[in-house]
Structure 1
Amino acid sequence: MESEDLTIGKALKFARHDFLNDLQLMLLYMDLGKMPEARNTLLETTERMRHLSMLEKLRLPKTEIWISTFEWRHTAFSKKLQCDIIAGDRTANDEVIADYLERLIGIVGESVDPMDEYIVHIIVKATEEQWSLQLTIEGTLSFTESPNLPNTDDGFEVSGVLQDKQWTFTLSGR
């Protein structure tokens, strides 16, 4: 799967489109008298926005942009984001982290079936001293064994596990 070039204008367009879809879904539920579903959609949308907003505390702006725009550029995947971040100073090279993530998704993209559904669960955790970013790709991958991860010596560590056709990899650093 190839990553789409994303301008600020395109990113804003995608964000507006996603937000309007959520509003239309809420309105549909209200029109059908399904208030619990409308309320749940509102709460889910609010929670998703809260996690996206929390990414700023990571203080890795390129990585934040990569995560925030992921599913707009990699349309074969859906994204589920969970963050638990305390702001802190980060020593890892932010640009290298974002580039590394892009290379990893490129490797995964080579093994996806365009007719299948793929969800990337992204869990970002950070304390004042350290951070971790875990991506779990859910969906049938054509890997038979864990692919070789690109090397890194840029202030963060990487590990990966392929189990039951689900690939989880974790980046961590200070």
Structure 2
Amino acid sequence: MTQSLNVVAEPQDIASGVRKPETVAMGVAGILADTYMLTYKTHAYHWNVEGPLFYAIHNLTEGQYEDMFAAADELAERIRAVGQMAPMSLGKIRELSVIEDSEDNLSAGEMCQTLADDHERLAHRLHALIKIAGEQNDPVTEDLATERSAFHEQAAWMLKAVIAK
């Protein structure tokens, strides 16, 4: 094996003015973990939804999991940009996430409600990250968290609109 393949990534000192980059990175890592868990849950519901609103829910969840999958890369790259390591195992993702695993055999309405609740939970965590990032002089993470929060708030609203009585 060549020397170039023996390089192991490690945290770096990035002097961008962000105070306590470990704190910021840990907050972003939690959001990344939640994003991964919710992406999978959304995708699984997308595969298994049935009923008269199949087409609407199938398409809605497809747009949501595609957005979250792309966001995961952006979140991981933000962790690296502040000089820290992004989570590298599914075990770590599960440990850092507050999104609970899915139940089997849910109705379409239960799927939508569960996903809406998860999006709201993630939006709350993003609001906390916005505050932490501001305290640590990190406007880039503040902007990213604000953008992601807007997505999750809208996703919750759309899912709840599907099941409105």
Q: What's the TM-score, normalizing by structure 2?
A: 0.33
Report which structure shows greater RCO (CA 8 Å, sep ≥6). Answer: 2
Q: Identify, as 1 or 2, the structure richer in helix.
A: 2
Q: What's the TM-score, normalizing by structure 1?
A: 0.31
Q: Identify, as 1 or 2, the structure richer in strand.
A: 1
